[in-house]
Amino acid sequence: MKIWRIFKMALSSLKINKMRTFLSTLGVVVGVSSLILITSVGYGAQYSILSSIQSLGSDVVIVIPGKSANLFKSTVGSNAMRKPLTYDDAKFLKRKMPYAKIAPEISVNTTAKYGRTEVTTTVVGTNADAFVVTNYEVAEGRILTDRDIVGYRDVCVLGKKVADELFPLGNAVGNYILLHGNKFLVVGTLKEKGAIGQIDMDDLVFVPITTLQSQLRTKNVQIIYAKPPQGMSIDVLGARIKSFLIARHGMENFTLNSFEQYLQLAKQVTDIFTIALAAIGSIALLVGGIGIMNIMLASVAERTREIGIRKAVGAKNRDILIQFLLESALISTSGGIIGILLGIFGSVLVPQDILPTHITTSAVIIGFTVSFLIGVFFGVYPASKASKLNPVEALRYE
Amino acid sequence: MNEVIRTENLKKTYDLGPVKVEAVRGVSITIKEGELVSIMGPSGSGKSTLMHLLGCLDTPTSGKYFLDGTDVSTLEENALADVRNRKIGFVFQTFNLLPHLTVLENVLLPVIYNPQGNLKKAEARAKEMLTRVGLGKRFNHLPAQLSGGERQRVAIVRALINEPVIVLADEPTGNLDTKTGLEIIKILRSLNEERGVTEIIVTHDPSITRFTHRTIHIRDGLIEGEEVNEDPVEVL
Ligand SMILES: Nc1ncnc2c1ncn2[C@@H]1O[C@H](COP(=O)(O)OP(=O)(O)O)[C@@H](O)[C@H]1O
Ligand SMILES: [Mg+2]
């Protein structure tokens, strides 16, 4: 018997009891749509981290004070207290490796004021290299220069958000603003950069590191970014920084990281998240499968006479088996297709700025395949039950 | 003439745990090609059980059954399905049409399960036969839209569609009134006369036996007697 015939037969059987067919797909619909939605959220998180790190440049080495094996552990260890990272360390590294971009950074949360407008923001003391490391583009004016740094100048460069808030009409460059009560000349503004992780890269004000350090009465920096020149890997640069700093400090009292490591970690975290939630979706699918089995068993019982008639005119056990298997696979696969569409629809409805979503082809293919397999798997028992019916007894069934 | 059916001491016992029901207790019959035979007997005498055995819907507890020259009493399920499909046409008392299939689809059902079946040719033949039994305008009707007599005519055409070696009709008129029943008998008789179809008709209505060549009387699962009707009456 031709498979196409059986397929048409199965399809017309399902049409007879439309409501029941529809209801029996629901479990799989819920399972597949939640699977699609959940993985889209998981992948969305990964992609947003990936893209923000790419916008920063993943080829950046990060040096933080204190020795820590774990990225998430506090970096303020006892070693760090004894010997923190200083601006001199950064200058030393630059002297040893003039080819690299070295950007030390110290930041403080404070207020920025222009006229009557006052906003809270983060002031970052850094140098000219920082703008290269973080791939900022100038909107107006200029970035910080070495002369600003060396001269302890009271100048600042505004991030897009701060500039917009203090100078809604534009023309920020050339005006004086107050940072924590101290007067600074705005020499430039930056183009929009977006957020990297938790940090809004546009809600920042950049000042010469020398100026901020003298105001804070410190020689320390919180972080040093280093970017290798073209053709050098971050591993090579990292190794050099490590040996230079150990030689200078006499011990390894700092930690080297790269964004790549952060990326790996973020990936791991979202992977675990995705797997955990996908497991929940799978349970929904399992329940859907059991629902289909239940309906198929009822259908087999109800259609005992039909099975008897088919067998009486020559249907083999295999013909009946395939017919019922196909019916159950059709139910689950159509549930799967509806689920995929609903999942995609749902992931589009999720507000992307809160929870970015990303639909992957593999999720769609897996959703489709799994729903088909569920129909086959949970259809085997009812179908084999149907196929093994004795024709005479089946015909006698009322 | 060739033997289409030969049974030797055919027995069927239903094992119901504490009791055993001997429905057929040793039946030996021979049906020749082109014969129109009736089987008579009171209710519960084992007629249906015998027909199920002859129709390969069930397997005998013991005894031998040769159908069209081959021993089918020992065949396994799939082989029996094949025999049912190609060598046997069964007509039931309760018609047994699939309610969701049209008249034409019901008639073609055995062709679908026939590996050598040709649907195109079978469809033409189905239409021709349906027209001959007066259902020319009913191809696409559902069984529920037909009268009992019409349904039984569909069932007869279905039984013939794979050109079987024998048609087995188990009380084909049992669910019909006398007049409609006679029409069905007339169709079965004309198939035998005009096309040479070998047929067994089970009935407990003595008036039907006069239309057949031979009548086998069965009681309590055994053959009680047999009478040959040299001059079967025409059905009018
Ligand atoms: N599946 C079965 N299980 C048990 N007993 C059965 C079964 N089928 C038929 N019988 C018994 O076998 C006997 C013959 O039944 P059946 O062949 O249907 O008679 P008929 O068709 O002549 O009325 C009856 O006593 C009936 O109860
Ligand atoms: Mg009976």
| pLDDT at position A20 over 80 | yes
pLDDT digits (tens, 9 = 90+) for A295-349: 999 999 999 999 999 999 999 999 999 999 999 999 999 999 999 999 999 999 8
| pLDDT at position B1 over 60 | yes
**Residue given tokens 């007049």 in the structure block:** B179
Domains of chain B, CATH where assigned: 3-228 (3.40.50.300)
pLDDT band at A170 (very low <50, low <70, confident <90, very high): confident
Q: Which percentage of chain B shows pLDDT scores above 90? A: 90
Lowest mean per-residue pLDDT among A11-25, A113-127, A171-185, B104-118: A11-25
pLDDT at B133: 95
Q: Which of A52-61, A131-140, B14-23, B160-169 has the highest mean pLDDT?
A: B160-169
Task: Give φ, ψ of B169 to 5 degrees.
Answer: -115, 115
Chain A environment of B81 (Cβ under 8 Å): 311, 314-317
pLDDT digits (tens, 9 = 90+) for A235-255: 899 899 999 999 998 888 888
- For A314, which of B52, B58, B110 is closest by C-beta distance? B110
pLDDT at A13: 84
| pLDDT at position A194 over 90 | no
| pLDDT at position A71 over 60 | no
pLDDT at A200: 82
pLDDT at A148: 94
pLDDT at A8: 83
pLDDT band at B136 (very low <50, low <70, confident <90, very high): very high
Chain A environment of B97 (Cβ under 8 Å): 309
Pocket test for ligand 1, best of B14, B20, B57, B219 (most atoms within 8 A of CB): B14
pLDDT digits (tens, 9 = 90+) for B172-216: 999 999 999 999 999 999 999 999 999 999 998 888 899 999 999
Q: How far is CA A86 from the centre of its chain?
A: 34
CA distance B87 to chain A (A): 10
Inter-chain CB proximity B96 and A305 less than 8 Å: yes
| pLDDT at position A48 over 80 | no
Ligand 1 contacts CB of residue B202 (under 6 A): no
pLDDT at A198: 64
Rounded CA gap, A134 and A102, in Å? 11
pLDDT band at A74 (very low <50, low <70, confident <90, very high): very low
| pLDDT at position A78 over 50 | no
- For B112, which of A1, A312, A390 is closest by C-beta distance? A1
| pLDDT at position A256 over 90 | no
Rounded CA gap, A160 and A208, in Å? 18
pLDDT band at A39 (very low <50, low <70, confident <90, very high): confident
- For A315, which of B58, B81, B92 is closest by C-beta distance? B81
**Residue-range domain boundaries for chain A:** 2-52+264-396, 84-252
Lowest mean per-residue pLDDT among A39-48, A82-91, A211-220, B95-104: A39-48
| pLDDT at position B100 over 50 | yes
Q: Which percentage of chain A shows pLDDT scores above 90? A: 53
DSSP B43: T
CA distance A299 to chain B (A): 15
| pLDDT at position A64 over 90 | no
